[in-house]
Each structure stands twice: as C-alpha cells, then as structure tokens.
Amino acid sequence: MKKAKGTIGILTGGGDVPGLNPAIRAVTIRALIEGYRVVGIRRGWEGLVSLIREKGADNSLYIQELTREAVNKVGRSGGTFLHTSRTRPSHVPKLNVPIHLRDKYNDDINDLTDDVIANLEFLKIDYLIPIGGDDTLSYSVHLMKKGFKVVAIPKTMDNDVPGTDYCIGFSTAVTRTIQMTHSLRTTAGSHERFLVIEVFGRYAGFTALLPTMAGAANRCVIPECPFDLNLLAELLVKDRYSNPSRYSVVLVSEGAKIKGGDMVFESLEMDSYGHKKLGGIGDTVSAGLKALSPKYNDNRLINTVSQRLGYLVRCGDPDALDSIVPMAYGNLALDLILKGRYGRLVGLRKGMYDDVPLDIVTSYKKAVDVGKYYNTERLRPSYKSFESKPLLIMTSDV
C-alpha cells in the first residue's frame, strides 16, 4: 500500500448550515486524489478535547476515517454528518472537562489546548481544516499561534467572518428567508396586518438587508443601527396604505435594538464563547407596532403577524451557491496545503476566490457599512449603482 503524503483532519464547529457536507466532501475527495489520508473529527473542537490517548481506546465518538464512500452520498445533504458543538478548548468549564482529564484540570475555567495539540499528534494529523464561523475560527487562530498547520474555511449564515465576502450557509439562509417571507404574505394580506419576521444576525444585518433589497420586505432593522420604533410604525403604516392588499412587511435581525434598549435574549445562559441565546426581538417589535399603530392610522389599531424563522433557514439541503462555493473552498484549502502555505483563510473577495491570513478573523468585526448600504431614515437598504460591484454588493468589506 502506498504511503500517504500526510494526514489531514477536518472538523465543523458552531451552528450547522447547509453546505458543510459538500465542503467536507470536496476536501476529502481532493485530498485522497493527492495522496493524503483524511480523518474527520466529530463534534467539532469537542472531539479534540475528549479523545482518549490510549492504545485500543474506543474513540469512535470523536474520530472517523473519511473515504470516498463515506462522503459521496452525504455530500449532497444539509447539516454536518461529522456533527458539531460550541466547545471552546481554551475556555472549558469544570463540569465539561472530560472525566479522564479532571485530575489535571480542576479550575472553574480551563485551557485544554495542550491536550488538543497532544491529541492531534496522537492521531498523526499534520494539517487541520476547521470549518466554522468567527468563534470556531478564533480558536483556530489560537492553535495556529501554537505552531499547528491550519487552513480554515468560513461558514455562518450571518456572513460575518472578516476577510471574505461569502461564508458557507449564507445563500441558503437568504434564499429561504425570501421564500418564507413571500409565503407568509398570504396570511398578512388576508388579515391586512403588519408582518414582522425575525431572522438570524447577532452583530451583522446581512441576512435582513439582502432579502429586503431583493423585495422580500418593505423595511428592515439591523444590529448595526438602533432604530426608532415610532419611525418604523409610521413607515409601515404608509407602506400598508400604498399596498392594495393593505399589509406591510419588516425583517428584524435577532440582534437589532430599539433606541435606548438592548438586545433581547431568549436565555441569559452563556455559551463557551460568552454569547447569550438571542430571540424575541421580533415579538417585542410586533407588540410595539400594534400599540403604536393608532397614532399613524387615524386611531385605528393594526394587528400583526409575528414569525421567527430560526432553524427553518439553516436546516435541509443547500441551495446552488451553497453547493458550488463549498466545493471551491475545499479545493482552495488543498491547494494551500500542497503549496506549503498555512495559517490561511480561504474565501471570496470582490467575486474572486482568494485567501487571506487566518488571524484576520480576530482583527475586527465584520458588519454592514451603514453609511454606504443602509438608509437610517427610511430603514431599508441604500445603494446607488451596481456597476463594477461584487456579486453580493453589501457583503464586501474590501
């Protein structure tokens, strides 16, 4: 049997999105063709935290040998067959430390990075390809600075990883948002109501802005710009009057804030990256619009339809872009490994495939450029010309 050039490890971290399995497939097929062995690390960083470094230990919960047969069929499906977690190895709470490591780590918060590196060496992994958002990739930077060879692939529905115009999962989220918003119009129109739809977007409003630009909604409110609820009510009443079916639509990013208020959380419990679970701003906005509607509607109340899209936009199969881009990203990652270039993030910049230093993901926060792309007085996208602009004009940060 021909000896492999080396071993490549792949993991997926954070929330699932359509497009992860196509990326895993692309990496695996290309790597095998080039003569590498490929190991799937299951449950994200948790797999590298929980592995038992003993000969004969059953690590099947955390490690999977990847072959053409393992990835070919599943590569057409949504989610991640390697599974995922929100584990942060540098900040593991005492209760989450694996049992076999509890004698070694017993602080309230523990950094298990030394064991992660030891586990990578135990598995004889030479190169690691993590697929994730800014949280997952921020730990990749930490690992890179420890000397491990990392090439990363960006994914997140929010599309907020710095250094790339596009993250895996974004197109499907936008596509589903447009489809579902248009479907919900039948109910809003039948009852002549405001339609309030809450979409993903903790710190960046791209998932609300682009569907609105595409005609899915009359207005949108985004995390980058706290909004006046009175202004939104006034605008939606006007939009409703101009619509023969007497309804109007607003998309609300989950991280949006009413002026003078804060984010709305479903739970105060924080994950390992310090994030509380968002959820509920749509219902808050809906109730506020209903209460304010008589002020702008001749003292007549306007009822609302409030819907949180949530996991409906992240489940199921990937759309065309989230089938094509992951294939390209996987091959780009292998190109970098073959060239001996590590500590890189693959991505799209102004419509061209490219790569940038991995530590860009921790250098700044990517968000909507409000001055360029958001009209704060009209609460909707702002654009003057599409000439010579990137495909997804508002997501480019270069």
Question: Which sequence positions are flagged as catalytic?
Answer: 158
Task: Please give the Cα distance from 286 to 58 (Å, whole number).
Answer: 51
Amino acid at 222: I
Specify the residue for token string 């593991």.
92
209: burial class by Cβ within 10 Å (0-12, 13-18, 19+)? buried
Tokens of 287: 């109730």
HSE (CB half, 13 Å, CA atoms) of 395? 29
Residue 25 to residue 129: CA distance in whole angstroms: 13
**What Cα–Cα distance (Å) separates residue 80 from each residue in 15, 70, 120, 242?**
10, 13, 21, 44
Long-range contacts made by residues 124-128, C-beta under 8 angstroms, separation at least 24? Answer: 124/7, 125/7, 125/8, 125/9, 125/39, 126/6, 126/7, 126/8, 127/6, 127/7, 127/8, 127/9, 127/151, 127/337, 127/342, 128/8, 128/9, 128/10, 128/11
Q: What whole-number distance in Å separates Cα of residue 309 and Cα of residue 235?
A: 23
